[in-house]
Amino acid sequence: MFTVIIPARFSSSRLPGKPLAMIANKTMIQRVYEQAAKSAASRVIVATDDARVVAVVKAFGGEVCMTRPTHVSGTDRLQEVCSQYQLSNEDIVINVQGDEPLIPPAVINQVASNLQKNIQTAVATLSEPIVNLDDFNNPNVVKVVKDNANCALYFSRASIPFHRDLEAFDVAGRANDETLIQRHIGIYGYRVDALNEFITWPMAALEAIECLEQLRFLANGKKIHIEQSCEAVPGGIDTPADLMRINALFNDA
Distances from the Cα of 225 to the Cαs of 74, 77, 107, 249, in angstroms? 19, 22, 14, 32
Q: What is the pLDDT of residue 172?
A: 59
- Is residue 63 a contact partner of residue 46, using CB atoms and an 8 Å limit? yes
Under 8 Å CB-to-CB from 45, ≥6 apart: which residues? 3, 4, 5, 6, 63, 64, 65, 81, 85
Q: What is the pLDDT of residue 38?
A: 98
Domains, in order of start, for the chain: 3-246 (3.90.550.10)
Q: Is 138 left (phi over 0), alpha (psi -120 to 50) or beta?
A: beta
Residues of the chain with pLDDT under 50: none
Please give the Cα distance from 216 to 233 (Å, whole number).
25
pTM of the full predicted structure? 0.92
Q: What are 102-144's pLDDT values in tens digits?
A: 999 999 999 999 999 999 999 999 999 998 888 888 999 999 9
Q: What is the pLDDT of residue 72?
A: 85
Task: Give, as one character, the DSSP assignment of residue 19.
Answer: G
The reply to whether omega before 161 is within 30° of 0 (cis) is yes
Q: What is the pLDDT of residue 11?
A: 77
Please give the Cα distance from 225 to 199 (Å, whole number).
20
Q: What is the pLDDT of residue 165?
A: 61
B/e letters for 113-123, b = 16+ CB within 10 Å, e = fewer, are bbbeebeebbb
What type of residue sits at position 64? V
- Is residue 6 a contact partner of residue 29, using CB atoms and an 8 Å limit? yes
Distances from the Cα of 67 to the Cαs of 7, 11, 154, in angstroms? 10, 14, 31
- C-alpha distance across the termini of the chain, in Å: 33
What type of residue sits at position 229? S
Q: How many CB atoms lie within 10 A of CB 230?
A: 14
